[in-house]
């Protein structure tokens, strides 16, 4: 048996062990990326093989958070894909403005960069006071970081450029205090944010949302799991509610996708179709 | 030798010109899937159009969850790593940069190597960093063929040199000779 085949067996056992020992279900993740991350963990933790990693994960309780962090990679940026945030500001917010109370669910919020980005946009649009943001992620460590809102200062330049390109009206510096190495987002920005653990693979509907952002999370899922997450979004959205995915995501393979009509195709902003004739349009 | 099923190409600085030359000289009868990872700024969204005009084979941007097509050049989209699943569909990843790059050639080459093994040809062209070297090594480990542009012929030498240092190569040639070699390897005596 050659190395890649052995590798697949070890991967399967690792995923099973993670599920049986700790209850975390990665069985429906897209294999190529998951395997890559597992191998990175094997290297970082200096285990010789995936089986070596499995053993440590089973026997050393302290390993679990480390493994989860390695498997989820909470990587994000402020105002990533500025054109998408510009579209939110110019096209979606004016429609949300008609609701007396706005609920936004941000699924897979990682270290929170997008949460603060959204809060800033809402603030500038005068909508933040009546908005509630639910920011969720699988990883409680990531959520902890998200609530702190502290990031490496070296990101500031790129993020400011993104903010301007997203139609920012002020200066990003107005929203954070920057030191030599770190910058901290103004904590007033999270006054209407609730951080909570939620797993898109296993948990259910928990709110009624006018807008859901779930960017660059479903790319790690198999078609089956992508479909599950999309049905969760469908069931969580109000009539004609909005869904934003990452700019390179493709939902054509998902049967549930027909519940959504493109609102801005290039920015991957969709709207829940309320009637079948909406779909036909 | 196994008939190649796919060709994976990596490049960065100077890569657009090199790709135009290479893709322009491929044989229109090729049925191999061609996967290209070229480092570029997000602003270079027109890369597909530019290459499409010169290329003999159709050029499209790889779309996640879509099948890898025969006789088509698939470009890695900017801002994401491109991977291939064993069922021959594309996957994207927003993981951190590898070798300061996203898309990273190493990420693409490693996943393609696992999928096609001996039936994969890896090509490293001009470029200014060491991305691709580890990927090319993985391709060779799993029995694939490695082609590297001669560093002396490359606009930027660092990438082909790093690939040669780490992985070595089955062929090390100036750019104009690479497409004819690919045609020969892929079409045999056809
Ligand atoms: C690449 S980050 C995306 C961050 C941000 N949305 C962006 O686009 O910049 C992916 C996030 O999805 C989270 N995630 C992965 N699987 C998940 C699941 N099953 N349920 C909830 N969150 C998940 C990870 O923990 C990680 O923080």
Q: What is the pLDDT of residues B15-65, one digit of tens each?
A: 999 999 999 999 999 999 999 999 987 656 788 999 999 999 999 999 999
Residue B127's closest CA among B29, B16, B20?
B16
Site of tokens 């090390």:
B172
pLDDT at A278: 47
HSE, side-chain direction, 13 A CA sphere, residue A66: 14
* Residue A74 CA, closest ligand 1 atom number: 27
Task: Report yes or no: B92 and B81 within 8 Å, Cβ to Cβ.
Answer: yes
Supply the pLDDT for residue A193.
Answer: 98
CB A72 less than 6 A from any atom of ligand 1: yes
Q: What percent of chain B has pLDDT over 70?
A: 97
| Interval A164-171 mean pLDDT | 95
Is a pLDDT exceeding 50 seen at residue A73? yes
CA distances for A171 relative to A113, A120, A128, angstroms: 16, 11, 18
User: What is the rounded distance in angstroms from the CA atom of residue A144 to the CA atom of residue B126?
Assistant: 43
Distance of alpha carbon A214 from its chain centroid, rounded?
5
**Residue A220 touches partner B, C-beta closer than 8 Å:** yes
Full strand arrangement of the beta sheet holding A269-272: A193-197, A131-137, A102-107, A209-214, A237-245, A269-272, A260-264
What pairing do the DSSP bridges indicate for beta strands A269-272 and A237-245?
antiparallel
ipTM for this model: 0.94
Nearest CA in chain B to A29: B91
pTM of the model: 0.95
Q: For residues B8 and B38, give the distance between their C-alpha atoms in angstroms, rounded to a whole number.
A: 11
A98 band by pLDDT with thresholds 50, 70 and 90: very high
Shortest distance, CA B29 to any CA of chain A (angstroms): 30
Residue A276 has pLDDT above 60, yes or no: no
* Nearest by Cα to A38 from A61, A1, A60, A9: A9
Output the pLDDT for position A22: 86
Asked whether residue A279 carries a pLDDT value surpassing 50, the answer given is: no
Q: Cα–Cα distance between B108 and B152 in angstroms, integer?
A: 25
| Residue A217 CA to ligand 1 centre (angstroms) | 5
A219/B84 touch (CB, cutoff 8 Å), yes or no: no
CB contact under 8 A, B77 and A248: yes
pLDDT digits (tens, 9 = 90+) for B66-101: 999 999 999 999 999 999 999 999 999 999 999 999
A215-261 pLDDT, tens digit per residue, is 999 999 999 999 999 999 999 999 999 999 999 999 999 999 999 99
CB burial string B146-155: b at 16+ within 10 A, e below:
bbbbbbebbb
Please give the mean pLDDT across all residues of chain B.
95
Fold of B6-187: Rossmann fold (3.40.50)
Average pLDDT, chain A: 94
DSSP lists the bridge partners of residue A104 as A133, A211
Determine which of A1-10, A132-141, B102-111, B131-140 has the lowest per-residue pLDDT on average: A1-10
Complete domains list, chain A, with CATH: 3-72 (no CATH), 82-280 (3.40.50.150)
Give the angle A41-B40-B147 at the CA atoms, nearest 5°. Answer: 75
Distance A29 CA to ligand 1 centre (A): 12
For the segment A30-38, the average pLDDT, to the nearest whole number, is 97
- Cα separation of B69 and A192, whole Å? 47
Give the closest-approach CA distance of A246 to chain B in angstroms.
10
Cite the beta strand spans of A42-190 per DSSP E: 102-107, 131-137, 150-152, 176-178, 182-185
Core vs surface per residue A28-57: b (16+ CB within 10 A) or e:
bbbbbbbbbbbbebbeeeebeebeebbeeb
Residue B94 in contact with ligand 1 by CB distance below 6 A: yes
Q: Distance between CA atoms of B18 and B177, rounded to whole angstroms?
A: 12
Contact at CB, B65 and A223, closer than 8 angstroms: yes
């Amino acid at each position: 048996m050659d190395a890649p085949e052995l590798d697949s067996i070890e991967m399967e056992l690792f995923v099973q062990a993670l599920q049986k020992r700790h209850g975390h279900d990665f069985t429906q993740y897209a294999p190529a990326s998951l395997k890559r991350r597992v191998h990175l963990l094997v290297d970082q933790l200096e285990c010789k093989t995936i089986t070596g990693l499995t053993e440590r994960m089973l026997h050393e309780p302290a390993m679990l958070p480390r493994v989860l962090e390695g498997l989820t990679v909470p990587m994000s940026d402020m105002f990533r894909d500025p054109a998408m945030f510009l579209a939110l500001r110019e096209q979606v917010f004016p429609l949300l403005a008609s609701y007396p109370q706005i609920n936004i669910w941000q699924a897979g919020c990682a270290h929170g960069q997008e949460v603060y980005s959204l809060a800033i946009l809402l603030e500038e649009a005068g909508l933040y006071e009546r908005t509630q943001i639910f920011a969720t992620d699988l990883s409680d460590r990531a959520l902890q970081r998200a609530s702190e809102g502290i990031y490496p200062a070296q990101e500031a330049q790129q993020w400011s450029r993104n903010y301007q390109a997203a139609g920012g009206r002020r200066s990003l510096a107005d929203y954070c205090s920057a030191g030599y190495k770190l910058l901290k987002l103004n904590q007033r920005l999270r006054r209407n944010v609730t951080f909570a653990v939620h797993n898109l693979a296993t948990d259910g509907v928990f709110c009624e949302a006018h807008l859901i952002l779930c960017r660059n999370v479903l790319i790690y899922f198999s078609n089956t799991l992508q479909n599950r997450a999309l049905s969760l979004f469908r069931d969580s959205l109000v009539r004609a509610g909005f869904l934003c995915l990452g700019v390179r995501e493709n939902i054509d393979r998902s049967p549930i996708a027909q519940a959504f009509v493109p609102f801005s195709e290039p920015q991957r902003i969709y709207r829940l179709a309320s009637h079948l004739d909406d779909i036909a349009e | 030798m196994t008939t190649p099923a796919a060709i994976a190409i990596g490049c960065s600085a100077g890569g657009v010109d090199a790709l135009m030359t290479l893709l322009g000289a491929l044989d229109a009868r090729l049925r191999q899937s061609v996967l290209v990872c070229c480092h570029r700024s997000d602003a270079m969204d027109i890369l597909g159009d530019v290459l499409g005009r010169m290329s003999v084979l159709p050029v499209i941007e790889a779309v996640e969850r879509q099948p890898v097509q025969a006789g088509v050049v698939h470009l890695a989209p900017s801002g994401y790593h491109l991977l291939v699943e064993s069922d021959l569909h594309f996957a994207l990843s927003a993981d951190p940069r590898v070798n300061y790059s996203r898309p990273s050639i190493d990420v693409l080459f490693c996943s393609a190597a696992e999928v096609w093994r001996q039936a994969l040809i890896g090509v490293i062209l001009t470029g200014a960093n060491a991305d691709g070297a580890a990927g090319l090594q993985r391709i060779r480990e799993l029995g694939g063929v490695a082609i590297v542009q001669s560093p002396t012929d490359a606009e930027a030498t660092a990438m082909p040199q790093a690939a040669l240092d780490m992985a070595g190569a089955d062929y090390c040639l100036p750019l104009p000779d690479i497409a004819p070699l690919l045609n020969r390897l892929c079409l045999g005596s056809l």
